[in-house]
Structure 1
Amino acid sequence: MKKLVSVALSAIMTVSVLAPCRGVMAQQAAESETVSTYSASRASDESKFIIDENGVITSYKGYKLTVTVPETINGIIPTKIGDGAFENNVVVRNITLPDSVTVIGKNAFKKSYVETVTANGVVELQDSCFAKSSLKSADFPKTEIEHNAFNGSNIASVDMPKLKSADGGFTDCKKLKTVKVSSLESTANGAFSGCTALQKVYASKLKKFDSSDFSDSKTIEMLFLPGADTINLDVTHNMTLYCGDNWKNGDISNPNKFNLNIIGGDNVVSMHTQNLDNDAYTHRSTDDIIDTLGAQIRTKDNGLRFGFQIDMQKLDFFSLLLSATDASFGFVYTYDSLDGKTEAEKNQILRAGASGVHTRTASNYNSKGFYFNYNAVFTSIPSNHLSDKVYIRGYFCVDGMYIYSPVVSNSYADVASAVLADDSVEQGIKDSVKLSLKEVQ
């Protein structure tokens, strides 16, 4: 059938955000005096740095706890922290690098007492650059490459949204609890082995998850792996696994003694749990988490509106959003008839990216408490298509993981007939519906 209707994603955003308003508080508290606060940062003395003609800082001769590397040193722009430049340094605790520094070299901070590093321009971390250091967190917003960079360090959290591969990089980080690596595609050489305190792994693009790269991690509570096509999971403790439609290979072993919660589509989960006892796991289907709010007609423009509602408490959405780098919501729909299909078949057909299925992203919604409502409106439906059904479902996508409503279907004529047959509907509304049917005919 030809596409003869247009789609408008119609909604109104009403979002309130509660946050401290220091400007207002200061104004109220300072009616009789002027209050102002500020902070300043001064680059460290250039003479304390040794830099070569290529911009490589080879050593630091200062004795400050907090170091800000200058943007130029002796007229040279620094581009790299050289091999071993701060190795075994017991003085420096905090260091800020200029954006011109893109590489931290081998053993650069190995066995040092550095606790925090601000390095917004760094894209590469070389071998053992923070090995066995006192570094507390790995927050490197642009780093794509690391080579065994953090093994044995004190880091408790990792937030590296651009990191693409982890090659033995976090072994024996005994204090590491949270890993957010939304671009990570591969791990190797026991990348997270020996991380005995690890609780949360958020790796939305990781292609293959293998428990051997996470050996001795007996405390993982959450694995977010919607992009994985291979998952080999040895269940040695209670955990929740988020999986996507790409999961095709791998096995789940030893779940019987622990609570394994799996959140994913019906087909994918059933394929990987068919050899497990029913009481060995709990499955929460992503195919019916979002609620549908029925359909309405708009007589002013021959429109058919479908409503959807997200209950943020249902799946701990807030916890996911705290780690997410990308989130969206919208609709998938088709004009092709799905009559005669089972609900499972409809769910499988009507998925984002499937052949013959249209996907539209919504940008606005109504919010009230934990509930988010949004609508899809099909407008200007011609008279010869009033009885044609639209098959539609709402979705919420978090870093590539789609969470859906059940599939619903309706036509303009069906909804109009229901309105006319409903004794509780006011006569004025019925007259408008009758008039709209007459006008389009």
Structure 2
Amino acid sequence: MKKLLSAFLSFAMLLSIVAPFNSVFADTRYDVLQASCDLAQMYKKDGAYKKELLSDSSKSVTVGKRIIVKSEDDNINTYDSVNSICAGGYVFAQYATEASASKAFAEFQKAGFSPEYDSITSVDGQYTNTKVRDKRYEWAYGACDIDDTLNYYKYRANREVIVGVIDSGIQYNIKVFKNRVIRTYADFSGEASGDEMDEFGHGTQVASTVAMCTPDNVKIEGFKVSNNQIITDSSVLLALSHIKEMNRKPDVINMSFSGTEMDSHIETEINELTDMGIVFVGSAGNDGREVKSYPAAYDNVIAVAATDKNNNPCDFSNFGNYVDIAAPGYFTAYSATSGSNAPNYTYYQGTSYSAPIVASAAAVVLSEHGGYTFEQVKSKLMSSAVPFREKDCNKKYGKGIVNFSNTVNNNRCKEIKANYSSGVYNERINVSLSCDNTLVDIIYTTDGTIPSKNNGNVYTASIFITQDTRIIAAAYEKTDSVFHGKYFCADYYIGGSDYVIDDNGTLNAYLGNSKDVVIPDKADGITPLSVGENCFKFRDLNSITLPDSVAKISDYAFYDCNAKALTANGATDVGKYAFAHSGFSSVLLPNCKNSAEFSFDGANVQTVKLGKVTDLKKGVFKDCQNLQTLYCPSIVDCKSYVSNSFENCKSLKTLFAPKVNSMHIDIPSNVNLYVNNRLSLDYSIVGDYRYIFIAPLEIGINALRDFIEKHTPNSFSFKDSGGFANSKGAQIRAVDSGLRFGFNWSKMADLEDLADKVEYGFVVSYSDTDNLDINNAHKRVKASKISQNGNQTDFNLVIKNIPPKQRNTVFSVRAYVNIDGLYFYSPIVKRSFNQVATAVVNDEEVDDSTKAPFNDIIKEVRA
């Protein structure tokens, strides 16, 4: 069962003003458009599912007789389907019964495909709180500063930006769309008319929202996937496939529909279109609950929640950690369908209208920055949003409310400065505002609304703050010759604690104003035990130090936090996405036992230590493009067949895992892997990279080296850790009849600086041997005296008081450096006491007085 929820579709009216069209398509578009006609015939056989749909309160039904498979092979075996269509890189197969479809589904899986069942979804054709208006203006425009931004762009020449609307089509011949719509003739609904004319109304409402929120350089294209209350995964999939083949693709695509599940192939198409430069925006849905809604929850879609007139989340809006940003959820849009004789302004509610507001803001960003990628547009929108109050903990509704004017960079007043930053203050304060520009009015509000010349107070003297207050301010030049400044926003909390912490010791928010946060052993009288979900999400800080009492770092705790350094010595558990997209340069967790799936996804981190983690979970370091050193001294299992732990880790140079027993290698980088010789290895070649496995060549165990030499390609090589320390030879100590063996070590900073334990020592064999390590030595001796000079370390072994009868005995000696369980060795030095003495006596450069004691020693041995 799949579920799609789309807010408040309605029937409406028609004006007969025809818009121009100039869309250019690749020839292959006809293949996809024809497929929509063929699929429409399949949809006619869905009567039983439609009947079930009408009686199902979940409003979604899986079509058990239709399967979707990604393939471009017209001759693919569809296992007794009654009909099949191949278009857009997919095969749509219809079956006579659900049993035959189920059997085919299993056969597709056996053949290596990833089949999905199609689904039909009932969209809600009713809406509430609707009012017919005589004008477009509502509070939503002011909440996002849309009007001022439109006025700024009104007389400026800007590059054309196209917003695509995947919905129920567009009534393109009404006044609001004059000179704004580019015709597509794309109908992928059950009607397959070859015309994107909206017969249901929702697409027109969404598209008119875009038209009213953007300047004239922004054009709109409609891609019709529904003509009534039904949307199918297959129709959305065809629309995306069709867009992929267009010569001039939309720059932004809005998707105001949502569901708890969706065909995974849709995400594949979205990802491919994102790589082509398209920005996707999706609505979070209208169940008023915490739930992942698709397509909004996909990584490459900007997910939008809804807010009300007081800038608080709407009670109908879905929410969750996947939500990126919010926008007004009540909006005056056009109500019009092909059967109406005139459009009306109508007041609607739903995230269906929040999403196109954000899509419009994305189009504004692309008007100035045509080369921006999806991530750059998303970052711009989020960084310029008006944030939610930290104390309100509304981070599951995104970083803040989208603000159009804050995205504008050029020809504007300077930003506001204040003598106090956001934070907690023990007593009332006087906040002074200033601007580097002269001849400006500073206009501010304290009620959370956006200030303008028509709304707010003109700043004339410092603002006396005696209670919790939000100040939003901007500078307006008196001559109106430039655009007003970006909005300054600060929250002042008078009295109370810097921390929001519950009775269970969960730290939920930090309200203080320090950029270097040191969490005390007691916060508000309570011992912190965990960092709560979203606690530092979106925060702009320098460093964070947690007390050792904090054992748990919850899901999303540091998501998109810009701090650079973290100290968390007590943390044992790290939740999903805890550090995702964060700015930390290093995260050192020496006692961490569990790091959940995607915990560092997309983080800027360069160095990570997971001291006690024994297995790497799915996608832990996915898209960590700056990760250079990963230190995991306790890891045993590093398999990742489903989703590579190191996907897109293009900079990884060092992976320290001396205890790992199994590893799947497909790291897209040249990397040194510090492992053990018993490692079981499998791999997927991902490019022309060099993988160097560094391990002790233990006596009698050459498994890893032998495997690499026998099975792996030229890009794999083995390096014996037995050649890392240097030998300085051996010397006689005549004073105590001893031998001194000298060694030298060049520090491996990328490992030793992260290690809990670095031990210098020696292994000794009382025989002449070429096989010597920690496992077969007669004696193991820790180095007692170490001399360090910069990165160089000298350490010596002295064997004292060798009796005359043993002075011909050969001692085999090898130095080691043990870094958290991995042994690095020097070459073996083999010497007898008499050999060294004889060498000195026979050395012509040594004077007789120096040789005298050694001659006596040799005579003593011979006697």
TM-score by length of 1: 0.71
Q: Which residue of 2 aligns with 1:215?
A: 647
Match of 1:103 among 529, 536, 542: 529
How many pairs are equivalent? 365
Unpaired runs of 5+ residues, structure 2, are 1-422, 428-467, 470-490
CA drift at 1:44: 6.5
Say which of 124, 134, 141 aligns to 2:569: 141
Give 2:637's aligned amino acid: K
Q: For residue 681 of structure 2, what is the aligned residue in structure 1?
A: 250
What corresponds to 1:86 in structure 2?
509
Q: For residue 427 of structure 1, what is the amino acid of its counterpart?
A: D
- 2:41 alignment counterpart: none
* Counterpart amino acid of residue 549 in structure 2: V
Mapped to 2, the partners of 1:262 and 1:185 lie a distance apart of: 19
Q: What's the secondary structure of 1:113's corresponding residue?
A: coil
1:369–1:222 distance in 2 versus 1, CA, 3 Å? closer
The SS at the match of 1:415 is helix
Given that 2:622 and 2:648 are in contact with CA atoms closer than 8 Å, whether structure 1 keeps it comes out as: yes
2:309 alignment partner in structure 1 = none
Structure 1 residues 334, 256: CA separation in 2 closer, same or farther (over 3 Å shift)? Answer: farther
Q: Please give the alpha-carbon distance, in whole angstroms, between the structure 2 residues aligned to 1:255 and 1:418.
A: 55
**How far has the Cα of 1:197 moved from its partner?**
3.4
Shift of the 189–237 alpha-carbon distance from structure 1 to 2, 3 Å rule, reads closer
Question: Which amino acid in 2 is paired with 1:328?
Answer: E
CA distance in 2, matches of 1:295, 1:117: 50
Which residue in the other structure is 1:360 paired with?
Answer: 781
State the match for 1:298 in structure 2: 733
Determine if contact 2:672/2:691 at 8 Å carries over to the other structure.
Answer: yes
Secondary structure of 1:384 counterpart: helix
Match of 2:278 in 1: none
Quote the offset at 1:218 in angstroms.
3.4
Check whether the contact 1:109–1:133 (CA below 8 A) recurs between aligned residues: no
> Identity, % of aligned pairs?
22
Contact 2:837 2:857 in 1 (8 A): no
Q: Which residue of 2 aligns with 1:128?
A: 555
* Preserved contact between residue 738 and residue 802 of structure 2 (Cα < 8 Å): yes
Partner of 2:611 in structure 1? 182
Equivalent-residue separation in structure 1 for 2:610 and 2:856 (angstroms):
57
The aligned amino acid for 1:141 is N
Q: Report which stretch shifted further, 375-384 or 90-99.
A: 90-99
- Secondary structure at the aligned position of 2:849 is classed as helix
Question: Which of the two has greater helix per residue?
Answer: 2
> Is the contact made by 1:164 and 1:184 (CA closer than 8 Å) also made in structure 2?
yes
Per the alignment, residue 224 of structure 1 pairs with: 656
After TM superposition, the structure 1 stretch with the greater mean CA deviation from structure 2, 231-240 or 363-372, is 363-372
Q: How does 1:162-201 map to 2 (within 5 A)?
A: 162-168=591-597, 170-201=599-630
2:504 and 2:847 mapped to 1: Cα distance? 74
Task: Report if aligned partners of 1:81, 1:105 keep a CA contact under 8 Å in 2.
Answer: yes
127 and 318 in structure 1: CA distance in 2 versus 1, 3 angstrom threshold: closer
Asked whether the 8 Å contact 2:785–2:796 carries over to 1, the reply is no
**Paired letter, 2:670:** N
**Mean Cα deviation higher: 266-275 or 414-423:** 266-275
CA distance in 1, matches of 2:532, 2:595: 16
Structure 1: gaps spanning 5 or more residues: 1-42, 48-60
TM-score, structure 2 as length reference: 0.38
Spell out, residue by residue over 1:220-275, the C-alpha distance to the aligned partner (whole angstroms, 9 max, x if none). 22212222222221143322222234x43122442772122333334354134123
Using the TM superposition, give the Cα deviation of residue 133 of structure 1 relative to its aligned residue in structure 2, in angstroms: 4.3
* Separation (CA, whole Å) in 2 of partners of 1:120 and 1:296: 51
Please state how far the C-alpha of 1:92 moved relative to its aligned partner.
Answer: 8.0
Q: 2 CA distance for matches of 1:68 and 1:402?
A: 53
CA spacing shift, 1:388–1:252, aligned 2, 3 Å = farther
Is the Cα contact below 8 Å between 1:70 and 1:98 reproduced in 2?
no
Candidates 843, 846, 849, aligned match of 1:422:
843
Distance change >3 Å, CA 68–CA 237, structure 1 → 2: farther
Tell me: CA distance 1:105–1:143, structure 2 relative to 1, closer, same or farther (3 Å): closer
Which residue number corresponds to residue 275 of structure 1?
Answer: 710
- Whole-angstrom distance in 2 between the partners of 1:95 and 1:179: 20
Q: Is the 8 A contact 2:680 2:704 kept in 1?
A: no
Find the aligned partners of 1:327 and 1:333 in 2 and give their Cα distance. 20
In 2 relative to 1, CA 358–421 (structure 1 residues): closer, same or farther, beyond 3 Å?
Answer: same
Cα distance change, pair 147–70 in 1 and its aligned pair in 2 (3 A): same
Output the CA distance in 2 between the equivalents of 1:91 and 1:289. 48
Which range moved further: 357-366 or 200-209? 357-366
| 1:70–1:321 distance in 2 versus 1, CA, 3 Å | same
Query: Does structure 1 retain, via aligned residues, the 8 Å contact 2:579–2:603?
Result: no
For residues 291-347 of structure 1, the C-alpha deviation after alignment (integer angstroms, 9 at most, x for no partner) is 2122111111110111112244xxxx2333333332221211122x345xxx4xx1x
1: distance between equivalents of 2:496 and 2:846? 71
Which residue of 2 is the match for residue 434 of structure 1? 855
Give the partner amino acid of 1:372.
T
Contact 1:150 / 1:173 at 8 angstroms: preserved in 2? no
| Residue 119 (structure 1) aligned with residue 119 (structure 2) | no
Distance 1:210-1:258 versus aligned 2 partners, 3 A rule: same
| SS of structure 2 residue aligned to 1:275 | helix
Cα separation, 2, equivalents of 1:111 and 1:291: 48
Compared with structure 1, are the counterparts of its residues 395 and 222 closer, same or farther at alpha carbon in structure 2 (3 Å cutoff)? same
For residue 665 of structure 2, what is the aligned residue in structure 1? 233
**In the aligned structure 2, how far is the partner of 1:275 from the partner of 1:150?**
41
Q: Which residue number corresponds to residue 753 of structure 2? A: 322
Q: For the structure 1 residues 331 and 304, does the alpha-carbon distance in structure 2 shift closer, same or farther, using more than 3 Å as the test? A: same
Report how far residue 377 of structure 1 moved. 0.6
Tell me the C-alpha RMSD between the 2 structures: 3.6
Query: What CA distance in whole angstroms lies between the structure 1 residues aligned with 2:785 and 2:502?
Result: 45
Q: C-alpha displacement at 1:214, in angstroms?
A: 2.6
Q: Tell me how far 1:109 sits from its aligned partner.
A: 0.8
SS at match of 1:172: coil
Contact 1:69 1:97 in 2 (8 A): no
The one-letter code of the counterpart of 1:97 is I
Q: Which amino acid aligns with 1:319?
A: D
Matches of 1:319 and 1:68, distance apart in 2: 43
Secondary structure of 1:220 counterpart: coil
1:355-411 Cα shifts (integer Å, max 9, x gaps): 444222214234456543221110011222222221110112222222111112111
Assess if the C-alpha contact under 8 Å between 1:288 and 1:405 holds in 2: yes
Code of the residue aligned with 1:159 in structure 2: it is L
Contact 2:692–2:718 under 8 Å retained in 1: yes
Give the number of the structure with larger relative contact order, counting CA–CA contacts within 8 Å between residues 6 or more apart. Answer: 1
Name the residue aligned to 1:152. Answer: 580
User: Distance between the aligned counterparts of 1:338 and 1:125, measured in 2?
Assistant: 53
Equivalent position of 1:53 in the other structure? none
In structure 1, C-alpha distance between the alignment counterparts of 2:648 and 2:713, rounded to whole Å: 27
Give the letter for the 2:810 counterpart: K
Q: Residue type of the partner of 1:132?
A: Y
What's the CA shift for 1:155?
Answer: 3.6
Give the SS at the match of 2:793: strand
State the shift of 1:432 in Å.
Answer: 0.7
- Whether the aligned pair in 2 keeps the contact of 1:90 and 1:112 (CA below 8 Å) is no
Query: 2:425, 2:492 within 8 Å by CA — same for their partners in 1?
Result: no
Match of 2:459 in 1: none
Shift of 1:70: 8.0
Q: Which has the larger radius of gyration?
A: 2
With over 3 angstroms needed to count, the CA separation of the structure-2 counterparts of 1:147 and 1:174, relative to structure 1, is closer
Deviant stretches of 4+, over 4 Å: 43-47, 61-65, 67-71, 76-79, 89-94, 367-370, 437-441
